[in-house]
Amino acid sequence: MSLLKRIESPSDLKKLPPDQFPILCQEIRDLILPILSNVGGHLASNLGVVELTVALHYLLDTPKDKIVWDTGNQAYAHKLLTGRREQFHTLRQFGGLSGFCKREESVYDAFNAGHAGTGVSAALGMVEAREQLGHSNKVVCVVGDGALTSGMTLEGLQHAGGLHKDFVVILNDNQMSISRNVGAISAYLNRTFTGEFYTRLREETSQLLTTIPQIGENVKRIAMRAEELAKGLILPGLLFEELGFRYVGPIDGHNFEHLLPTLDNVLKLKGPILLHVITKKGLGYEPAMKNPVWFHACSPFDRETGKPIKKSNRPSYSAVAVDTLINLAKQDNRIVAITAAMCEGTGLSSFEKHFPDRVYDVGIAEQHAVTFAAGLATQGMRPVICMYSTFLQRAYDQVVHDVATQDLPVTLCIDRGGLVAEDGTTHHGAFDFSYLRHVPNMVVMAPKDENELQHMMKTCLTYEGPTAVRYPRGATLGVEMDQEPKALPIGQGEILKDGYDVALVAVGVTVRQAREAADRLAQEGISAAVVNARFIKPLDTDLIQKVAKQVKCIVTVEEGCRMGGFGSAVLECLSEADLWHVPTKVLGLPDWYIEQGPQELLREKYGLTADGIYHEAKALMERISLHSMINQPG
């Protein structure tokens, strides 16, 4: 019988002899690989962290002991070992398992996260809660090496080092290599340096040295540096030692003979400890090892070849935005591009091929990216920040404080605006219209198609102030492209179709759906105007007020949250013009976190398809008609 099928919880794992762990790890990889080839997900990092996951659940008493997985996208093996094996095929599907940790899903998931850099802070909060409540459980945080570029991670480490409480941070480093000899020596030394005898000797020697008058502290520091030299780790170790952690490592994260005894010793140590573990991204699957960047967060792929299964021959909105940016950058050497660890995802890798000295990947540091861009803009540069909508949320204060207050010409290319499908709750770009619309000096726009997107890119880079252009995930519509992009008049929408019964006022990807809904309404004798707002801010108030005076009612449509979004802007516009008597229905996303699922399924569920718009418009017209009949004299 399969070893994995015998494990329903970590207590079952503890019954296995450790010499069977390599077999178990292979079974875990053999289960992850075919499922992700069908549904996509974070493959490379999850294949690399299997042994570490097994070791942690074997040595810890979870869920009493807490494991916090920074980001949570490296926790697939964790899910398989904690009672979710039978549901694993539903990963990232509508109604299925989340691709991240989720407390609502399992008591073994200690913290929800989809953004990197939160792990240390969250885990440290659990450490302090343990101390305040008088509990004795262990808390371990697993962070990827990429998270060390996040300022929040460093803030958490600094705080933890100063508190001196028992806390283990495991640095899962999958960017470095470790040779067999170094691995064996390092493992031996770390088993020695974390053993009870050495720990006691280290503490007693430290106390003894500090009692030597005048020179004791200096001698103690020299002894500590000598220890690091003995391990050959002076550079990585010093950083964490200075932050107040005892540094252990690096060790081979795939060798149980090294991993288990070292981790066992580390879990017995007092104070803040950082264990540096070297793993290999994509281990066990050759294509993922050769191309770990693509397989970090991949779409469905052919398991035999490792090649993606393409669903469309049309370019993505990201590709169109970056291609336009490349052409504009050829004409203006002031244009530079910035991203936060998303060069591939935002398409900026293409820009980098043309302008390697004009692209900046600042790592998982969204706040820094925005203020860095502001600094560039003060000196006459034209910085363009390409970032997912959900990640730009993290730099809200910098947009307000560092860019908008100074009215600087910084362009925000907001990728993955709206519904983003399988990554779910933490990744839907639902809030950008709302959190940018109320910022003074901001210009916020969203294209109806890829041709309008290229014109909006041009608009951003010719405007002398902060701008944002928001576009969706996925393939473009395949419309005809103008030969050259041209700047659009700021704050000017367009009427795509005249009508006198109802006005469908839409923005972004919902414009096409509104046009289709209008055609369907026309078949039933309802005359529907269609307005492409283009600009969320400044809103084309003259156009909207003009249309409102010509129709009986208005339906606004946006793929964003209704609260404070584009529809709210239209309502404010009508209120200011005393057009309160025009019934208006606001369509958008509700006031809760949207679940994972295919884009089209979610659009249908929340009424953002042509069919949904049609039914809402028709129902509004029927209510108006009924109200008129009731209020007729006699």
Domain of residue 536, CATH code? 3.40.50.920
Vertex 503 angle, CA 502 and 508, to 5°: 145
Same domain for 433 and 564: no
Please tell me whether residues 528 and 611 are part of one structural domain.
yes
pLDDT value for 440: 97
Residues 321, 433, single domain; the answer is yes
373's CB contacts (< 8 A; 6+ apart) are: 338, 383, 385, 403, 410
- CA distances to 385, 404, 419 from 401, rounded to whole Å, are 16, 6, 28
What is the value of pTM for the model shown? 0.87
Let me know if residue 519 belongs to a domain. yes
3-class DSSP state for residue 233? coil
In this structure, the answer to whether residues 527 and 465 fall within a common structural domain is no
The whole-angstrom separation of Cα 563 and Cα 138 is 41
Q: Is residue 212 part of a domain?
A: no
At residue 265, the pLDDT reads 94
Q: Which residues of the chain have pLDDT under 70?
A: 175-236, 627-634
- Whether 43 and 119 map to the same domain: the answer is yes
Q: What is the pLDDT of residue 303?
A: 87
Asked, for residue 565, whether it belongs to a domain, the answer is yes
In 40-150, alpha helices (H): 43-48, 50-59, 76-80, 119-133
- Tell me: do 554 and 413 sit in the same domain: no
The CATH number of the domain holding residue 389 is 3.40.50.970
In a domain, 545, yes or no: yes
What's the rounded Cα separation, in Å, for the pair 21 and 54? 8
Domain boundaries, position 580: 497-630
User: Residue 629: what pLDDT?
Assistant: 62
Judgement on whether residues 364 and 460 belong to the same structural domain of the protein: yes
Which pLDDT score is estimated for 628? 65
Q: Which of 136, 174, 126, 144 is nearest to 60 (CA)?
A: 136
Residues 454, 501, single domain; the answer is no
β-bridge mates for residue 426, sequence order: none
- Is residue 560 domain-resident? yes
Number of domains in the chain: 3
- Give the Cα separation of 124 and 139 in Å (integer): 8
* Same domain flag for 458 and 513: no
Active-site positions?
281, 366, 394
What is the rounded distance in angstroms from the CA atom of residue 101 to the CA atom of residue 111? Answer: 7
pLDDT at 497: 96
Q: Is residue 244 part of a domain?
A: no
Tell me whether strands 535-537 and 443-445 are parallel, antiparallel or unpaired.
Answer: antiparallel
**pLDDT at res. 236:** 62
Residue 504 near residue 555 (C-beta atoms within 8 A): yes
Same domain, 284 and 397: no
The residue among 46, 15, 20, 13 whose CA lies nearest residue 31 is: 46
